[in-house]
Copies of this chain bind each other. A is one copy, B any other.
Amino acid sequence: MGIRRYEGRPDELLQAMLLIRHYEERTAALQAESGVPGTCTAVGQEAAAVGVVSALDEHDLILTNHRSAGHLLARGADPGRMLAEVMGRRGGYCGGKSGSLHISAKELGVVLTSTIVGGELALATGVGLSQKMLRRQGVVVCFFGDGAACEGRFHESLNLAAVWQLPILYVCENNQWQAFVHRRETMVNDSIAAFAAPHGIDSAAVDGNDVMAVRAVATEALDAIRVSGRPFLLETRTYRLRGHFEPDDQSYVDPAELASWRQRDPLPRLQARMLESGQVTAAGLTDMDADARRQIDTAVAFAVDSPFPDADALLTDVYA
């Protein structure tokens, strides 16, 4: 499976979002039922991931973090190899050495994933510098959370990208939570996009649960970067509907807040819109859902069948 290309049709976007949703819920279920290692799921954030990734072209590069499944799957990653990686199997994207937290897939342009919060922000400028100095096409897209925006590296990265005019699309997925701390406890203002201006960077904030809106603003931002060579900060405002890391009973989450964001779940929202506008039938939706589910069934089968790495893998891939 290679890099996935999108024309931008709602059904394509929905298909990608369904695949992510089923993948995430299955990993959570596997964790609960079979002791598969826990993961940071991005249930509820599918529109933010698919909206941005669907706007990329094949030269663009992605840096992501611990909550990466949506970005990878939207980019065309094989859910079987993803799950194999989660399970520490040889067939995973990183041969099982990464596990779920730092999955890179160079073949998809998903490079240098770091589970150090803010880690991808520190590396993105270097990837941007390579793109620029080696005269390569392709914008660098760096996904990070609202928590990462509390790390000083966020500012150091924006500043350097501005000074050196690096082609980077910074995407802050503001999902209101930073592990077990609410975003409100960590910053006075509500806007992360607002940090861009003093660094001399343009920015936008968008409803991150509206995939068409995200895609539209991401497309605009990417076009601007392709022309100017300058960075841009996009904030997608969304919500983490499941816990931080499976298992997580979310007992610390205000039920009213959770309920209000469930109302804004990006999947039903897109489905309703498609139904309303006649872009899909109810039966069509059922089919799409079943199809995504089947893909995940296949993925689970692949992952479970994939052997663990040989013991000597412990000592390989340290030095080039």
Contacts and interface: CB of A to CB of B under 8 A. Distances in A.
Interface in A133-167: 150-156, 159, 162-163
Most chain B CB within 10 A, of A187, A194, A198, A199, is at A198
A232 to B, nearest CB: 14
Nearest to A192: B198
Given A152-B155, A159-B187, 6 more contacts: A152-B154, A163-B187, A187-B199, A187-B200, A188-B199, A197-B198
A302 interface: no
A150 B198 CA distance: 12
B198 A191 contact: yes
B163 A156 contact: no
A310 interface: no
Nearest to A153: B152
Contacts of A185: 163
A245 interface: no
Interface of A is mostly: helix
Contact of A186 (B155, B163, B188, B195): B163
A34 interface: no
Contacts of A286: none
A277 interface: no
Contacts of A188: 159, 162-163, 199-201
Nearest to A162: B188
Interface of A: 150-156, 159, 162-163, 185-189, 191, 194-195, 197-201
A152 B163 contact: no
A142 to B, nearest CB: 16
Nearest to A185: B163
Contacts of A151: 152, 156
Nearest to A195: B198
A42 to B, nearest CB: 25
A310 to B, nearest CB: 41
A182 to B, nearest CB: 12
A106 to B, nearest CB: 28
Most chain-B CB neighbours within 10 Å: which of A154, A155, A185, A197? Answer: A155
Contact of A156 (B152, B191, B201): B152
Contacts of A200: 187-189
B150 A156 contact: yes
8 contacts: A150-B159, A152-B156, A159-B188, A162-B188, A187-B200, A189-B198, A189-B200, A194-B198
A304 to B, nearest CB: 43
Top 5 A-B pairs, shortest CB-CB distance: A152-B152, A188-B200, A194-B198, A155-B155, A152-B156
A151 B159 CA distance: 10
A7 to B, nearest CB: 36
A201 B198 CA distance: 14
Contacts of A199: 187-189
A185 B154 CA distance: 19
